Structure 1
Amino acid sequence: MRILFVGDVVGQLGLTLVQKYMPALKHQLKPQVTIINGENIADGKGITERLYKALLLAGADVVTLGNHAFRKRETVDFIGGTSKLIRPANFPPQVPGAGYTMINVNGVKLAVVNLQGRVFLDNIDDPFQKIDILLTKIKTETDLCFVDFHGEATSEKLAFAHYVDGRVAAVIGTHTHVQTNDARILAKGTAYLSDVGMVGSYNGILGVKPEPVLHSFLTNLPSRFEPIESGPGQLGACYIDLDATSGKAKKIQLIRIDPDHPLMEM
């Protein structure tokens, strides 16, 4: 099973870049499932129903979220009505929405799970214990499981990947917006990447205007961060090929598109 996973989409520029590059990526890679992290698409924090539907129209089969999942009030109202938008499964149980979904590809099911780390982030439920609970349900339907682990610390992401190595097909990190160079397949068959990167401005700081970020660092005062909505862009993604029989990963490949790395045949 071929999966294309696209990192955190930041603002309108991020959506524009997804719309621009998705046809070429799908033509070249021919993914059977496309997953996009959309937690930063609405002005840099959160998602709206309109923007969620725009990601579906751009080619997403599943949209994952993260710590900014409910920054837009309307998300609470519409997330429960869709099976293609998921928030971290280790949010408290009373939070609306689901933490995983199932995608059927020619009779083969893929579970897509969203989890959030706790190091340097909110002290929510333990993602290690949560995946154990989820896998008891998921394994009754499929051995193919993809995890978007939304976390700050590389150590936590890698520890989680080793914890589930051989039990899930892939653990791909999001949240830090900087693509890492550690794509690999672990000893028992789980594809791993600490962070897939982001989709948005190439000249900003993690997709937002540099000036407020610099002001915050220099003064220790709060600043309002705003996404850059024009100029050069970047797209971070990865391609994963899974063995549907064994539930293991066969290949993981980084995808990076920016002015210094133009889109080429892969």
Structure 2
Amino acid sequence: MRILFLGDIFGRPGRKAIAAKVRHLREELALDLIVANGENASQGIGLSIKNAQQLLEYGIDLLTSGNHIWKYSNIYAFLKTSDKLIRPANLPEGTRGKGWTSFKVRDEVHVAVINLQGRVFMDPAECPFHTADKILNEIDPEIKIILVDFHAEATSEKQSLGRYLDGRISAMVGTHTHVQTNDARIFQGGTGYITDLGMCGPIESCLGLSPNPVIKRFVTGLPQKWKVAGGPVELQGVLLEIDEETGRTVSIETYNSGRMTV
């Protein structure tokens, strides 16, 4: 199975790039599944129900998220009713939405996708390690392909969870930092891994934001008004090939669309 997993979609530039590129990529890369993190798709922070529906219409099969998913209250009902958007699973019991989902992709091949949130330099959450154990015990053993989006800040926490889950999931990808890392690899147990997918958004930026206010914030220490950057846009993520019988990753490589004007 060939899967494209895209990093955080950032603001209108990221959405426009998804609209322009994703449908063509399905055929161009012979993809069976396209997953993307959508938590920054609306004005650079959060995800509105309108933008969630647009991204799915553009050809994304499933949206994961993270700590910013709660910015727009109208997404709460969508989280509760949709099977196409998941939120971090290791949030308190009773939190709206699903932390993982499973679905048929083709030819009776099912895939499970789990969303988890880190705890280092992040908002409080339950232990992602214990939560992952619990969910893996709940997933139908017949489902061999299992993907994890770990939305976390610290590289050590991401690498540790990836190693902890090695051999029990097909792949773990990191999101949240918006900087694509150069460590896509397959662990000894057959789990594909990358510390961070990067982002789908404006490249001439500070993590998607116009640089000047961010720089001024660092220089002066004073609050600034953030603005989504303009200019060229890239789609970043990983391209995975997974053995449908064993669930092991056969190959993983970073994906970068190159600079686009949208």
Give the TM-score category using the shorter length: over 0.9
- Kindly indicate whether the alpha-carbon contact (under 8 Å) linking 2:26 and 2:32 is maintained by their aligned counterparts in 1: no
Cα drift, residue 11 of structure 1 = 0.5
Q: Which amino acid aligns with 2:116?
A: L
Tell me the distance in 1 between the aligned counterparts of 2:42 and 2:138: 33
- Kindly indicate whether the alpha-carbon contact (under 8 Å) linking 1:232 and 1:258 is maintained by their aligned counterparts in 2: no
| Number of the residue aligned with 1:158 | 159
Tell me the distance in 2 between the aligned counterparts of 1:104 and 1:8: 24
Tell me the distance in 2 between the aligned counterparts of 1:34 and 1:243: 17
User: Gapped runs of 5+ residues in structure 2?
Assistant: none
1:230-249 matches, cutoff 5 A: 230-249=230-249
Q: Name the % identity.
A: 41
1:29-44 matches, cutoff 5 A: 29-44=29-44
Tell me the distance in 1 between the aligned counterparts of 2:141 and 2:190: 20
Tell me the distance in 2 between the aligned counterparts of 1:234 and 1:76: 29
Bigger drift between 21-30 and 190-199 goes to 21-30
2:21 equivalent to 1:21:
yes
Structure-2 change in CA distance of 1:161 and 1:139 (3 Å): farther
TM-score, normalization: structure 2? 0.96
- Kindly indicate whether the alpha-carbon contact (under 8 Å) linking 2:65 and 2:88 is maintained by their aligned counterparts in 1: yes
| Number of the residue aligned with 2:211 | 210
Tell me the distance in 2 between the aligned counterparts of 1:235 and 1:226: 20
Q: Which amino acid aligns with 1:218?
A: V
| Number of the residue aligned with 1:194 | 195
SS of aligned partner of 1:211: helix
Q: CA RMSD in A?
A: 1.2
| Number of the residue aligned with 1:100 | 100
| Number of the residue aligned with 2:148 | 147
Deviations along 1:123-172, whole A, 9 cap, x unmatched?
Answer: 21000000000000114341211001101111110100000000000000
SS of aligned partner of 2:124: coil
Tell me the distance in 2 between the aligned counterparts of 1:12 and 1:244: 35
Cα drift, residue 122 of structure 1 = 1.2
Cα drift, residue 103 of structure 1 = 2.0
Cα drift, residue 36 of structure 1 = 1.0
| Number of the residue aligned with 2:88 | 88
Q: Which amino acid aligns with 1:131?
A: A
- Kindly indicate whether the alpha-carbon contact (under 8 Å) linking 1:144 and 1:244 is maintained by their aligned counterparts in 2: yes
Tell me the distance in 1 between the aligned counterparts of 2:52 and 2:138: 27
SS of aligned partner of 1:226: coil
Cα drift, residue 115 of structure 1 = 0.5
TM-score, normalization: structure 1? 0.94
| Number of the residue aligned with 1:180 | 181
Tell me the distance in 1 between the aligned counterparts of 2:220 and 2:123: 24
SS of aligned partner of 2:235: strand
Tell me the distance in 2 between the aligned counterparts of 1:185 and 1:79: 32
| Number of the residue aligned with 2:57 | 57
